[in-house]
Structure 1
């Protein structure tokens, strides 16, 4: 049986790739984009199977309208893929208030608004799968990506909590946590702070740390995402790429060792 899937940020990158993969196998897709003209090729190929919706996820009212339009058009929503977002590159000291707020507005609040809109529909259906496109940088951090890291940590905290709140309604929640992939995330979709030269060595080290093998191939993710969507018991955390797991494992091992070193001081602070 085909699924009804709502994907935000579907005009490029992961969103468009996954929309195409879902349409190819016979699913129905509501695809949102700031510029729906970028969906014209999918519309031409798949016709009524795709519902294009113009959406800026920063507008809460429009997020609710897009979700309701999807429900009215297709009759239900089986899967939400919250994919809209962008990368902000720059040291924390360099980041302007406007840049910081814009990063959180799209990556966190936009995802929150769409999530809030879809939960009542899935709750009424007694079924659904909310897939939040986070990052392995919601589990670990890299320099010169401070606000991006923070937005994805916020997405992870929100979504882990959501999973405990909606499980009894038959709703599953998954976090897709990719390592770096060769999408527009670090190119056309990315924003840069105004560089302060004191951070030049850190930028240089960051750039030199990424080899060609570091970046995954976006088209290789489609099968993994289809398996996640079809899973009877989907995972809450779902890493994408071969860099993510060893990176997360190392950081978490070091974190546990640090907790262990300080555990007596920590316990004494409890007071009794």
Structure 2
């Protein structure tokens, strides 16, 4: 009997999802790779014909997600590691974003991950085991100008995933929120929807561009070993920051928030609740 685990990875055709898919296959695991466009995975399918199954999937379609998970669990007889990675970026100021852009963005980044979680839990519960890795962001703890809706979707996923972890631990299912740092995933190109810019924010846009610079970050393959080790831990953390520089930045942001709370503590304590 094969000891290889079966991975179900969304957003598997590029960026982080592609890196995780390649790492799992290289380790001798089975992978069901889901993405809207699975053509970029043709070479991998030829290289690993017995270990890779490609599924075309739009995670914003709840019915399609449930059908895909049923096919995924049947492909190799079980599911062991579920990586909720599919997502995109809505770039623009809060005032600029249209209702359609906001809803479409959250349909993928938040609701899509929820549909996947809902679909895989019965399978994992029946097995009495399984891992769900929820890919969020190092910035999910607070908002940042021009990427507020991206942060909002990831923050919502953080919160739901904390609840999910408490709910399913009794079934032998472990949930980890993976707060990703910045990697060269193509998110700001192929995965981006941009608002129509309002001239009123031109100065702020220039400041942000200067602050961020042109460094796209390290290659996604550099974080794949972290995911592989995380998936094998018998007692994994609820949250993990993925990235050395990102770890430091998150600590700084958290400390700044604590200091602000302390500064205004007297005002907070005027209320009795």
Fold-level match, TM-score > 0.5? Answer: yes
| SS of aligned partner of 1:56 | coil
User: Per-residue CA shift, 1:245-264, capped at 9, x if unaligned?
Assistant: 22211121121122223334
Name which of 229, 232, 254 aligns with 1:230: 232
Aligned equivalents of 2:180 and 2:211: distance in 1? Answer: 17
Q: 1:140 Cα shift?
A: 3.1
Aligned equivalents of 1:16 and 1:268: distance in 2? Answer: 52
Aligned residues: 271
Aligned equivalents of 2:240 and 2:44: distance in 1? Answer: 27
| SS of aligned partner of 2:187 | helix
Aligned equivalents of 1:2 and 1:267: distance in 2? Answer: 55
Q: Any gaps of 5 or more consecutive residues in structure 1?
A: none
| SS of aligned partner of 1:75 | coil
Who is 2:91 aligned against?
Answer: 89
Q: Does the CA contact (< 8 Å) of 2:177 and 2:239 recur in 1?
A: yes
Q: Does the CA contact (< 8 Å) of 1:214 and 1:243 recur in 2?
A: no
Who is 2:175 aligned against?
Answer: 173
Q: Does the CA contact (< 8 Å) of 1:176 and 1:238 recur in 2?
A: yes
Who is 2:129 aligned against?
Answer: 127
Q: 1:120 Cα shift?
A: 1.1
Aligned equivalents of 2:68 and 2:190: distance in 1? Answer: 25
Task: Determine which structure has the larger helix proportion and give its number.
Answer: 1
Q: 1:43 to 1:160 in 2, by over 3 A?
A: same
Who is 2:187 aligned against?
Answer: 185
Aligned equivalents of 1:100 and 1:109: distance in 2? Answer: 12
Aligned equivalents of 2:207 and 2:115: distance in 1? Answer: 37
Q: 1:217 Cα shift?
A: 2.2
Aligned equivalents of 2:198 and 2:23: distance in 1? Answer: 42
Q: Any gaps of 5 or more consecutive residues in structure 2?
A: none
Larger deviation, residues 94-103 vs 235-244: 235-244
| SS of aligned partner of 2:160 | helix
Aligned equivalents of 2:252 and 2:14: distance in 1? Answer: 32
Who is 1:5 aligned against?
Answer: 7
Name which of 127, 143, 147 aligns with 1:145: 147
Q: Does the CA contact (< 8 Å) of 2:184 and 2:216 recur in 1?
A: no
Aligned equivalents of 2:176 and 2:13: distance in 1? Answer: 22
Q: 1:212 Cα shift?
A: 5.2
| SS of aligned partner of 2:182 | coil
Aligned equivalents of 2:128 and 2:29: distance in 1? Answer: 20
User: Per-residue CA shift, 1:26-59, capped at 9, x if unaligned?
Assistant: 0000001112222111110000201111111011
Quick check: 1:217 aligned with 2:215? no
Note the aligned Cα RMSD (angstroms): 1.4
User: Per-residue CA shift, 1:53-74, capped at 9, x if unaligned?
Assistant: 1111011011011111111221
| SS of aligned partner of 2:178 | strand
Aligned equivalents of 1:2 and 1:120: distance in 2? Answer: 21
Aligned equivalents of 2:214 and 2:148: distance in 1? Answer: 23
Larger deviation, residues 230-239 vs 44-53: 230-239
User: Per-residue CA shift, 1:179-205, capped at 9, x if unaligned?
Assistant: 211111111111111111111121111
Alignment of 1:1-150 (within 5 A): 1-150=3-152
Q: 1:218 to 1:194 in 2, by over 3 A?
A: same
Quick check: 1:265 aligned with 2:270? no
